[in-house]
Structure 1
Amino acid sequence: MHITVMLARTLEGWEAVDADLEKADTFADTVRIAREHVVEDGTVRLPAAQEGTRFGVVRVDGTDSPGVFVSDAAAAARTSFGAMLTEELLRRAAEPDGRGDAEDQADDDGERTPVPCGPLGDELLLDSFGTGERELLGLDGDAVAAVADVLGCTEVLQAAR
């Protein structure tokens, strides 16, 4: 089962955003869609996707560079949304400043950067919500539900599903 949901923190609390992430062909598209819903106070957007026990999370805070995490990069690279996240993370890793400005994931010799097995990205992505590196790396089963639980928006997620 593949689940993709965008959760948004508003002044009234968390809500599920009706955004068509399937229309996002690139990571920049995903971020643009998330930012279309950002409230002036820097509301957090968390698109999350899950297939089986593998998951990916993107955190968009105002104008800051989005945080990204995938639980299994090699597995994520086999799905459209996961591949988008993995490619972004590999671009960031290839950049000296880590900002992800590279056009592709090829190195100076034109070789493709190998996609690592296992977690990739910002393991402290949800730290400010009380989920540190150890907890994020330990998520399995319904990881999207676990993320929603950490954020305090389980009911919102259940209603969106």
Structure 2
Amino acid sequence: MYFAALLARTEDGWDASDTELDDVETLSDLADLAREASPDDDTVLVLIEQEDAWFGVVRIDGEEDPRIYVSDAAAAARSSYGEILLTDELLGREPGDDDDLDSLDLDGTEDGEDGESDDDEDSGDGGSAEAVPHGPVGDTAILDDLGVGEKELLSLSDDALGEIAEALGASDVLETVR
């Protein structure tokens, strides 16, 4: 089960609203949804979690590009909502680099390869270097100026979103939409 909420910073503190992500297909769609929650271009946080498997934070500050943190990329990659957050840039891949078979020859090599590779692109466990990493990815300083430092973010427990909201002084408003 998923939970997603928007926390928008206002002059009076934080406003929370739960949000349906059914119509969100891309990070741009998610950023647009977040910007709609704050007409004054204030900070908006999109908090997403899947039952103790992973959580993600997307921070939108006005028209700036979204900043993203995902607690476990491999777990999020198995989720349709997680796939929205796991952009090529976040994973350190070139745009359009997919793990699909479109560019493979019948022998399993990529177009133009001879099958004998001198560089060590295999991770040693049968997976490719393009595989989604286990563990956190993204901007670990995403909440530094809001009171949640990198060390705290990386050590959050099962109720990560609750702990983030507590640090922001927004736990009451988050609980109203939970």
**RMSD (Å) for aligned C-alpha atoms:** 2.1
Check conservation: 2:4, 2:19, Cα contact below 8 A: no
Higher helix share: 1
Quote the residue 2:17 is aligned against.
17
The two structures have a TM-score, normalised by structure 1, of: 0.84
Are positions 1:132 and 2:149 aligned together? yes
Check conservation: 2:4, 2:18, Cα contact below 8 A: no
- Flag structure 1 segments of 5+ consecutive residues without an equivalent: 96-101
Check conservation: 1:10, 1:39, Cα contact below 8 A: no
Are positions 1:68 and 2:65 aligned together? no
Amino acid at match of 1:149: E
Paired positions, count: 150
Distance 1:105 1:30, change over 3 A: farther
Identity %: 42
Quote the residue 1:32 is aligned against.
32
- Flag structure 2 segments of 5+ consecutive residues without an equivalent: 104-109, 111-127
Question: For 2:13 and 2:164, how far apart are their aligned partners in 1?
Answer: 15
Check conservation: 2:73, 2:132, Cα contact below 8 A: yes
Question: CA offsets per residue over residues 22-74 of structure 1, 9 Å max, x none?
Answer: 2101111101111122232x311111111233211100000111110000000
Question: For 2:170 and 2:97, how far apart are their aligned partners in 1?
Answer: 35
Amino acid at match of 2:51: G
Question: For 1:52 and 1:19, how far apart are their aligned partners in 2?
Answer: 17
- TM-aligned CA deviation for residue 94 of structure 1: 3.0
Question: For 2:72 and 2:152, how far apart are their aligned partners in 1?
Answer: 15
Check conservation: 1:73, 1:120, Cα contact below 8 A: yes
The residue matched to 1:94 in structure 2 has which SS?
Answer: coil
Question: For 2:13 and 2:147, how far apart are their aligned partners in 1?
Answer: 17
Quote the residue 1:98 is aligned against.
none
The residue matched to 2:162 in structure 1 has which SS?
Answer: helix
